[in-house]
Chain A
Amino acid sequence: MIPQILITGMGIVTGLGIGKTNTLQALRQKQTGIGKVHYLQTIHKEFPVGEVPLTNEQIFQLLDIEPEKIYTRTALLGRIALKEALQEANITKKRPGKIAFISGTTVGGMDKSEQYYTDFLSNNSKNEYIETHDCGATTNLIAAEYNGVFDMMTTLSTACSSAANAIILGANLIKTGKVDVAVVGGSECLSKFHFNGFNTLMILDKQPCRPFDKTRAGLNLGEGAAYLVLESEESVKEREITPICKLSGYANTCDAHHQTASSPDGEGAYLAMTKSLKQSNLQSKDIDYINAHGTGTQNNDETEEIAIMRVFGDNVPHISSTKSFTGHTTSAAGSVESVISILALQYNFIPVNLNFSQPMNERSFIPATQSEPTRTLKHVLTNSFGFGGNDSACIFSRID
């Protein structure tokens, strides 16, 4: 008997706002969180972004953090989402049983490093930010408030699938009985570094992104954080808490094709989806909604479609890319889109694919533009693909 992985709490912050309620409302009202650059210090104002509508100072106030504390934006966003997730799961202090905190990031403390890089090298005025640069330091900072709560901690960094791989590790820790609860997800703020990096790859769109549309011309970057509380059945029973849904399958594979482009037949994506279906004992026809990776770039959407058609044939279920709402939240995307997929499952609606007007080709699937599902959502699949072909997929299911 394979142990069940139950979800007992979620927290999220993106361009759509703080928390699940705001996220849900924006998704249902089809209001995007993507707009003009407001907070990021860049000369490239021509590219729209999905920014969390708060300054760092406002987040300090929101979380009641002492002003002299050292924080990076990725850590601050992470703290907002972690707080909400732990509150919902009713985990606020040390309790019996083992708890892991697994977070994904790639940008880490880059927002401060790029701001103070010259100071780091030439004077000693910003030395306190040297040790907030790396990914692991970010995870430690996000969890800093919860003294004694976590028994183990680590950081995934597989670019845009980091948070999905954090979910997978957390689930495996529960399956092997190493922990009872795993708080998993990712956090990533916008940085000039990766904003310019994506620009050099010429995959940023100056218009709002149009995933799976014939006229798509690239992605919009976003920022955010999201965490899920995964829990074993025994722990759920013991704590008498009502689970939201379950994680019924997942897979991590590698496209092994190119550093920044996916293979023509979408092999990595295909393997991630088929393996997660197999693990969940489900068939493709059982999936009611796919939250696609759908960045809006020529290459991703084309190869993701090929991979999806290989798995689902002509019977592709409701499908959308919610990056049209949040922008591409990179390392946080896996958990941001998992939370969105679970909200869809919980409230039985399809988050639409904004800005869609014409299919990529005559055989293409048509992404969802209506929120009303044709049947009650029972199983939802979410894809997360990263640079270097780090492809992962997760399936969440309603609890019968």
Chain B
Amino acid sequence: MGIFIHSIAQISNQEPFSDKWFSEPIIYNERYVRSIEPDFSTYISPMITRRMGKIIKRALATALHITKQTGIDNPDAIITGTGLGCIEHTEKFIAAMLENNEELLPPTYFMQSTHNTISSQIAIHLKCNGYNNTYSHRGTSFDSALFDACIQFELGEIHTAMVNGHDELTPNYFLLLDKIGYWKEGQITEQRLREGNTRGSFAGECSVSFMLGNSLRPDSICQLKGMELLYQPTKEQLTNAVDSLLQKNNLTRNDIDVLVTGVNGDRENDVIYREMHSSIFPRKPMVWYKHIFGESYTSSGLGLYAAATILQKAFIPQSLLYNACTEEITIPKNILVYNHFQDKDHSLTLLSSCLD
């Protein structure tokens, strides 16, 4: 038994539902870029989406895209990670409450403000009575959702799972996070992000859905071999966690072909990745993705998508390479995805190609 990724769908600042970013990413210089919206009516009737916030529309679209692609329209589990939840509706309700001094408030914004609206709206739409969960844990919200799915598979409770990562970034919340140093000042360029010698990153939004299953199918993209979540690990604990994850899968450090990291241009954020890379995988290619998709609490979901796409297409495009690696790049078979948030919560995810 293993865990396989059968299908992935994304809505981001890149062309929706497409891998075009892999060869020709859209380059932005603005500090804050919102997602490119697909034609939602292809997926869901405008009658239904009329009262929905952006995040719910996007979530239903990515969910329905992968159910259609795989034919798995009743997954055994629906698990979502979201850092801020339905922040658009949350803000609208706060604003109305303050403006009207707690009187004559409409219920709609509140009803769709809770974080679990995403997983439950998908379940209501697909009529899934199975396991349904929502994680909201800062930059490892998506990682927590994926980890929960791995545990459900391991316990034999499920055969299929839909795992999602969703965050919308409203103009107000962009401003709030800007005040506390989340975003770079001035124009965004790849070079500035790569140098990573100032504070802040490039702001994005994320909607991504994965369909997982415990049997290999002709359409399987890659295998998810294992995961680890760590809180405030010492360097030694992090190294041990990497080695033990590899060992459990009969791999050595040398078998890892690519390290995918959440480097985002922020000085304090990036140094953690660089140190990990140079101490554990010094000669291996290091990949980044946040310079393309931007930073959000669930952008690690797009990191997993980037890693899976590298395995599927069996090469690393130049645009994803962060370092000038010394080793000749072979066809990637095993990828370690490493993510941390403010050096508190860390995650490791091991992906392998389907053929091994």
Contacts and interface: CB of A to CB of B under 8 A. Distances in A.
A165 B101 CA distance: 34
Contacts of B154: 176
A157 B135 contact: yes
Given A136-B136, A176-B151, A197-B110, A253 B144 contact: no
A29 interface: no
Contacts of A137: 138
A390 interface: yes
A388 interface: yes
Contacts of A193: 90, 93-94, 97
Interface residues of A, number: 67
Contact of B116 (A43, A175, A386): A386
A134 B136 CA distance: 8
B83 A134 contact: yes
Nearest to B342: A140
B133 interface: yes
Contact of A153 (B110, B133, B179, B345): B345
Nearest to B232: A148
Contact of B117 (A43, A114, A153, A387): A387
A158 B231 contact: no
A192 to B, nearest CB: 7
A148 B229 CA distance: 15
Contact of A113 (B94, B175, B177): B94
A151 B232 CA distance: 7
Contacts, number: 204
A157 B79 CA distance: 11
Interface stretch (A254-262, A318-326, A350-358): A254-262
Contacts of A200: 105-107, 110
A152 B135 CA distance: 14
Given A43-B101, A154-B135, A131 B180 contact: yes
A317 interface: no
B113 interface: yes
A329 interface: no
Contact of A130 (B102, B129, B137, B180): B180
Nearest to B177: A130
Interface stretch (B58-66, B119-127, B252-260, B317-325): B119-127
A139 B137 contact: yes
B98 to A, nearest CB: 6
A58 interface: no
A254 B83 CA distance: 22
B176 A106 contact: no
Contacts of A54: none
Given A158-B116, A388-B116, A192 B97 contact: yes
B128 A256 contact: yes
A130 B176 contact: yes
A162 to B, nearest CB: 8
B339 interface: no
14 contacts: A101-B231, A121-B176, A137-B138, A150-B232, A153-B345, A154-B135, A155-B144, A172-B148, A197-B93, A200-B110, A253-B132, A256-B129, A387-B114, A388-B121
8 closest A-B pairs by CB: A388-B120, A197-B110, A136-B138, A254-B132, A136-B137, A200-B107, A135-B136, A157-B115
